[in-house]
Amino acid sequence: MNQRYQHKEIEEKWQKIWDRQKLFKVTEDPTKKKYYLLEMFPYPSGKIHMGHVRNYSIGDVVARYKKMKGFNVLHPMAWDAFGMPAENAAIEHGVHPAKWTYENIDYMRNQLKRMGFSYDWDREFATCDVSYYQWEQLFFLKMYEKGLAYKRRSFVNWCEICKTVLANEQVMSDGTCWRGHADDSGVTQKELDQWFFKITEYAEELLEWCEKLPGWPERVLTMQRNWIGKSIGAEIHFPLENSKEVIKVFTTRQDTVFGATFMSLAPEHPLALSLSKGTAQEQSVREFVERMRRQDKIKRTAETAEKEGIFTGGYCLNPLTQARMPIFVANFVLMEYGTGAVMAVPTHDQRDFEFAKKFGLPLIVVVQTEDLTLDANTMAEAYEGEGFLVNSGQFNGMDSVRAREKIAQYLEEKGLGGSRISYRLRDWGISRQRYWGAPIPIIYCDRCGTVSVPEKDLPVVLPSHVEITGTGQSPLTGLKEFVETRCPQCNGPAQRETDTMDTFVESSWYFDRFACPDYDKGPLEKKRVDYWMPVDQYIGGIEHAILHLLYSRFFTRVLKEMGWVSVSEPFTNLLTQGMVCKEVYECPKDGYLFPDEVTLQGEKLHCQKCDSQISIGRLEKMSKSKKNVVDPEYLIEKYGADTARMFCLFASPPEKDLDWSDQGVEGSARFLNRVWRLIYEQHHHLLNIRPLPFGVVLAGDQKALRQKTHRTIKKVTEDIERFHLNTAISAIMELVNEIYVSALKDSTDERSRKVIREAMEMVVVLLSPFVPHFAEELWEALGFQESIMKTQWPDYDPDAILEDEILIVIQINGRLRDRMTIPVSYGEEEVKVWALKSERIQKLVEGKEIKRVILVPKKLVNIVC
RNA sequence: GCCGAAGUGGUGGAAUUGGUAGACACGCCAUCUUGAGGGGGUGGUGGGUAAUCCCCGUGGGGGUUCAAAUCCCCCCUUCGGCACCA
């Protein structure tokens, strides 16, 4: 054993050994209990970042722990390898996306190996490989057959910087692209033919199952529920005047239908233009609609935006009152929610109220309460609450909640609509006008129309010779040999679809593929997938709370229906780890600065470029643009992978944000050195010593240290189980501190040696999931031949953790006044008596009447007086 | 506006079937070791105070209780999600 802890040497040594022994390779073994631990796989952007280090360190602790616990642990890693950065690199530097991607993968694989994560590397794959995405094309065809994939012309979110379409989930609430460009000009609307996956068909199931995922963080489920956005209401048909056509609306307040005095349509609604045709309004309506369509959707639909609208010239009839209702086009009505048409009840909806006031439209109160008496002539705002119905024909006097039910029933009976449920969730637009993605297996024939590529002709391989220019059109469109093909039905000339699939399609089933990455007769080998799925523990960033996690849940249901998987939900337990943050320096003139561009002058920080004074910004997520990143590579070089892992795990609990601290890293390194020195000093005298068996009776220092050792085993085990990794490490630190001050260290007594030996062994074993190379090396120094990973996770001796004396706190009126140590065997009365005997207590209660004495066994005595 | 999470020393954070607030670590202080520096060992470190007495103290205010960081009510702040969703 080396006197000094040489991290580089040790880490290289053990990584080689693990590799050679294939220590983390797993196969399906029905005799063993499986445990599938998965971390979100990375996009191969070039280098790993601290977020990866943290995410994968957390996962690795659990994977190694479960393995030592005897589980058959699947812990795989792969690459989410399709996507735009590869294509952008091609545009900027002329390097082919495939070359760029595979080189990045090689580099990052090497970095992950240097971190010592316990992956079964034999299961690695890259999603940009045809052996992976070919199966996605098969899924697409099956979904197309079932109507779950379809094409429609629609308004889509278009990011001018990415030059592609975004799904609704990929547009942030401030109207920017989820990729977060430095110069974010916002996402605009564009009308395009697009492929969609019918996720809306699963809205109810996905929502219902939110209740059946107790292993998920509540906030993720809440976000998903919000996103699905279920509303219970009714559809009502309003006949157009002088026409057989009806306008269908969705409302959650069908109880107010008697108060509907006009109609509002979305600018995109087909009737908006047709109703005004040939009327005096035709021109102005057209102008209004055009203007709205051009306007930024986010701005148009912001709550603060002014209500704008225009009369179409058309009328419809309120089906319950036969009142004549003018039809307007209004900026706040959204085509993609409900039916794109809203019955306007100005008395009981604030938006309609404002709109009616602006256009001088009639108000009819239809809901009243006992307390307020609403008057249409004087009311200053809409009343949106519940009450009883008035001016509502046969429904008068009925409670508004009950009226909703009755009116829906009535509508149903009369064929005027009926109960409906509406969701906010839209279908998932998967078309991307990009090269670096999985081609959609569709052919367009002039004669036969849209034809799917026959299964036997799969895969549609992404051509490698292509010119990438970044014009906004898929580079595939200009590629004759790709586009021009024969129709599989009539053999006539035809063209291939040039859109590729959203990269979230790849990440929606990669976790299934890990069960059988080498399988080539189909996408998934049922037997193996059934053995491993579902994922027992999934770990990743909160930023995927909706996107990836919702898509994956949807995809799992689809694959289940197709018979490829047996589970409905892919992830049993989910841990969303916090971000890695560091303070930012921002100069008023020069923007964000690197830490070495800042100098300390007295108490104040100054910019080296312009000498302006700089305030230390708040902690922000590490990002290149904010110049506050720490490169893991540097950490591995200087401190080693184990120290880097140690810091990430110790500095904060997994689900919270981690604040970067250089001093904290030093502290972690110091702790490992401290453990190293301890074992270095002792290991010669411990070599042939074996720990005492369970149940042995000790006394004094021996008993004390053995007790601490076994309590630490208990604590660390429980803490890992509940992901309190920071406190698990604290517990080990405490044990180390105790060994340092223990008199047993210098004793030559055989029993003392055994107790010390056990304490040391346990420090190393308990540390092994956290700092595996370090632990392996010390384990070897303690005389073990085999990898520490082959050791059983230790149990604690229940006898060893028992006390025979305990500390009892004595309170007077709930305030701490004294402490006493008493034998554990004392009965309740005995404890009370002893507490009252205390000198200090005697003094304090002197002359007072003791009203009550409360005893909490093994904890405290509280004297009330 | 609605929903959710959080607020504890100089700092990161412990402790919630109500029962010693501040484990562990960073920083700081003292002391020992070393020729010095670094490193290391030991001890101390919430605030007030000469104090091992006592008082105050878990965002603020009230309450329940023998006892509240923990439970209840009101309020404040921060972060995240949703939001003209009919």
In single-letter form, the type of residue at position A675 comes to: V
- Tell me: the pLDDT tens digits for A742-766? 988 888 899 999 999 999 999 999 9
**Residue A413 Cα to chain centre, angstroms:** 45
Q: What is the ipTM of this complex?
A: 0.94
Round and report the angstrom distance from CA (A33) to C1' (B61).
Answer: 54
Residue A844 and residue A861: Cα distance in Å, rounded? 15
Is A20 exposed, middle or buried (CB count within 10 Å of its CB: 0-12, 13-18, 19+)?
exposed
Domains A230-421 and A662-790 share a fold: no
CA of A264: nearest nucleotide by C1' is B86
CA of A266: nearest nucleotide by C1' is B86
CA of A343: nearest nucleotide by C1' is B86
Round and report the angstrom distance from CA (A214) to C1' (B86).
Answer: 33
Task: Report whether CATH 2.20.28 matches the domain A580-650.
Answer: yes
Round and report the angstrom distance from CA (A812) to C1' (B55).
Answer: 16
Let me know: does A665 contact A639? Beta carbons within 8 Å: yes
Amino acid A807: pLDDT: 86
Instruction: Note the helical H segments in A28-129.
Output: 50-68, 84-93, 97-115
Torsion, Cα of A810, A816, A821, A823 (10° steps): 40
Residue A67 and residue A788: Cα distance in Å, rounded? 11
**Domain range annotation of chain A:** 135-198+427-501, 230-421, 580-650, 662-790, 805-864
Please tell me whether the peptide bond between A76 and the residue prior to it is cis, using omega within 30 degrees of 0. Answer: no
Amino acid A374: pLDDT: 87
What CATH superfamily classification does A230-421 receive? Valyl/Leucyl/Isoleucyl-tRNA synthetase, editing domain (3.90.740.10)
CA of A671: nearest nucleotide by C1' is B25
DSSP single-letter state for residue A835:
H
Question: Selecting from 3.40.50.300, 1.20.58.110, 3.20.20.70, 1.10.730.10, what CATH number does the domain A662-790 have?
Answer: 1.10.730.10
For residue A485, give the nearest of A454, A439, A443, A457 by alpha carbon: A443
Closest residue (Cα, C1') to B3? A222
Amino acid A312: pLDDT: 92
Round and report the angstrom distance from CA (A803) to C1' (B68).
Answer: 29
Chain B nucleotides with an atom closer than 7 Å to a protein C-beta: 3-5, 11-15, 19-21, 23-27, 39-43, 54-55, 66-68, 80-86
Counting other chains too, the contacts that A282-286 makes at CB distance below 8 Å and 24 or more residues apart are A282/A313, A284/A310, A285/A310, A285/A312, A285/A313, A285/A329
In degrees and rounded to multiples of 5, residue A755 shows phi and psi of -70, -40
Place of tokens 């009737």: A271
Closest residue (Cα, C1') to B82? A226
CA of A730: nearest nucleotide by C1' is B24
Round and report the angstrom distance from CA (A667) to C1' (B13).
Answer: 14
Average of per-residue pLDDT values in chain A = 90
CA of A859: nearest nucleotide by C1' is B19
For A681, other C-beta atoms within 10 Å of its C-beta total 11
Closest residue (Cα, C1') to B68? A814
Amino acid A297: pLDDT: 62
Let me know: does A138 contact A458? Beta carbons within 8 Å: yes
Residue A108 and residue A43: Cα distance in Å, rounded? 10
* Positions of chain A with pLDDT under 50: none
* Residues composing chain A: 865
- DSSP β-ladder status, A34-39 and A535-541: parallel
Amino acid A823: pLDDT: 87
Residue A539 and residue A40: Cα distance in Å, rounded? 6
Residue A172 and residue A176: Cα distance in Å, rounded? 5
Closest residue (Cα, C1') to B24? A730
Let me know: does A853 contact A841? Beta carbons within 8 Å: no
- Tell me: the pLDDT tens digits for A614-629? 766 667 888 887 888 8
For residue A167, give the nearest of A227, A219, A209, A230 by alpha carbon: A227
**CATH for the stretch A805-864:** 3.10.20.590
For residue A549, give the nearest of A530, A576, A514, A513 by alpha carbon: A576
A91: helix, strand or coil: helix
- 3-state SS, A248-292, equals EEEECCHHHHHHCCEEEECCCCHHHHHHHCCCCCHHHHHHHHHHH
Q: Is the dihedral of CA A338, A343, A347, A350 positive or negative?
A: positive
